[in-house]
Amino acid sequence: MDGFGRAAVTGLCVGFLWGIGCSLAFIYSIYLAGYRKAVKESIKKVKPERYTKTLEKLLAKRAKKAAASANAGAPPQE
C-alpha cells in the first residue's frame, strides 16, 4: 500500500504540473497572437477604427493629466 501511495502522489504532482504547463502555453500563444495583430495594425497606413478611438482616449487622458499637474503647482486664483 505504501508503494501505491507514493505513486499516486507522484502522479498527482506530475499531472498538476503538466496541466499548469499546458495552461501557461495556451495563454502565452493567445498573448502572442494579440501582440502580432497589434503590431500589424499599427504598421498599416489606414488605421482601424478601434485603434484610432483608443489612441484618442489615450491622448485625452495624457492631456488631462498634464493639465492637472500644471495646475497643481499654480497658486489659487481669486
pTM of the model: 0.42
Cell matching residue 34: 494579440
Q: What is the mean pLDDT of residues 14-24?
A: 88
Four-residue CA torsion sign, 58, 60, 62, 64: negative
Quick one: which of 24, 21, 20, 22 has its CA closest to 32? 24
So what's the pLDDT on residue 58? 95
Q: State the pLDDT confidence band at 75, using cuts at 50, 70 and 90.
A: low
How many angstroms separate the CA atoms of 44 and 41, rounded? 5
pLDDT tens per residue, range 21-74: 888 888 888 888 888 887 887 788 888 888 889 999 999 999 999 888 887 766
- Residue-range domain boundaries for the chain: 2-71
Q: State the pLDDT confidence band at 2, using cuts at 50, 70 and 90.
A: low
